[in-house]
Amino acid sequence: MPDQQTPSRPAAPESRSARQRVMHLLTAAAPALGAYAVVRAVGLLVLWAWASAVGKDALHLLGGRWDSVWYQRIAEDGYGYTVTLPDGGVHPDLAFFPLLPALERALATVTPFTVQGAGIAVAWLAGLLAAWGIFAVGARLYGRRAGVVLAALWGAYPTGFVQSMAYTETLFTALAAWSLYAVLRDRWVAAGTLCVLAGLTRPSAAALIAALALTAAVVLLREWRAGARRGLLRRNAHMLLGVCAAPLGWLSYVVFVAVREGGPFAYFDVQAQWGNSIDGGRALAVFIAGLPLPAATGLCAALGLLGMLVYLCVRQRQPLPVLVYGVAVVVISLIGSGYFGSRPRLMMPAFPLLLPPAVALARLRTTVGPGAVVAALALGSAAYGAWTLLGAGPP
């Protein structure tokens, strides 16, 4: 009997050490989580007040409309639902990835939550995890103060209200942020595992997969050119394992759709049925050309600002995985033919774009400081979010 107990004895100190590390990380992130929570609370309060004034249910707006309904139906009944539009178009539910509905179903099974309530709960928890991961990346690169500001800015993003909805962007951002943090810590297996989960969440996981793959390729190339060729693959075994695992989540869902629909390119056909095919930006150009001149000018100015942020990220010399991920999310969001109004939401996971303004604000030592700037942005984001959610069109 003593021999059977011996192997379990070292586990207790290791477990305590792991808990201590998590608590240390959580304590360090507390200001960022607090700032993020306040920003999102402002958004929710404005939405609740505005919705109440016009006789609408704020929780229904967050969890019972648009894409949220599709995820909830998958959580309740599995895949197989299709809508036929008046023009003959077909929208199958296979366009939606499975991780969020799986989490909704699991949470609704073990708690009193309905599936709708579970979706909102997952989104809110994922928002905190995302803010924590964003802070971790920002703090590691540019200091804790910059990390706190970065998390707050992400919460005050113009379409930040989506972070409180039963949508996938917040869950995906949490997985992407922690995957990037793992790469920065040289924890490639953890990074690849998180990327697998991200690939089961959103198609934009392609940006994260590309970031990991390109970073690994550069590491191998540098070592090869430096003459460290002997044992190159063995020395980088963990990195190669993480990179090889990274696309498995996305690929597994593509294969699932292919098998279910009986065609190797069925997933891409499904996306095309929803109008989400890749056209290199043609749909965006046509949309801008069809706008009145003032609106087109304003949109071009917004795209110019987006380009400036990308330039600042390059000039800031962000680490390669962080830079590639942020730019790739933007590119993927702009080159598709889908509904234009969703593009700001699709770009929301590109939190590295906020690193230049976060660092600049963190360096402010004036009486105004970053807090006032973030507060103003939070109020603007809250008002825009309430106005959007109370409108007819999806975000």
What's the pLDDT at 356? 97
Give residue for tokens 């939405």. 47
pLDDT for the residue numbered 367:
56
pLDDT at residue 157, rounded to an integer: 95
- H or E stretch covering 17: helix 11-53
Decide if 294 is inside a domain. Answer: yes
Cα(134)–Cα(308) distance, rounded to whole angstroms? 21
Domain presence at residue 83: yes
Residue by residue, DSSP assigns 110-131 as HSS--HHHHHHHHHHHHHHHHH
Give the model's pLDDT for residue 232.
87
pLDDT at residue number 14: 46
Q: Considering the domain boundaries, does residue 20 fall inside one?
A: no
What integer pLDDT is reported at residue 337 of this predicted model?
80
- Quote the pLDDT of residue 145: 94
Residue 288: inside a domain: yes
Residue 1, domain member (yes or no): no
Structural domain that includes position 105:
34-389
Q: Is the residue at 255 inside a domain?
A: yes
pLDDT of residue 8: 40
According to the model, what pLDDT value does residue 210 have? 97
Task: Name the residue among 184, 173, 161 with its Cα closest to residue 134.
Answer: 173
pTM for the structure as a whole? 0.93
Domain assignment present for residue 61? The answer is yes
Number of domains in the chain: 1
Q: What are phi and psi of 380, to 5 degrees?
A: -65, -45
**247/236 Cα distance (integer angstroms):** 18
103 in any annotated domain: yes
Report how far residue 146's alpha carbon sits from residue 33's, in angstroms, rounded to the nearest whole number. 13
Low-confidence residues in the chain, pLDDT < 70: 1-16, 367
Helix (H) or strand (E) holding 251: helix 248-261
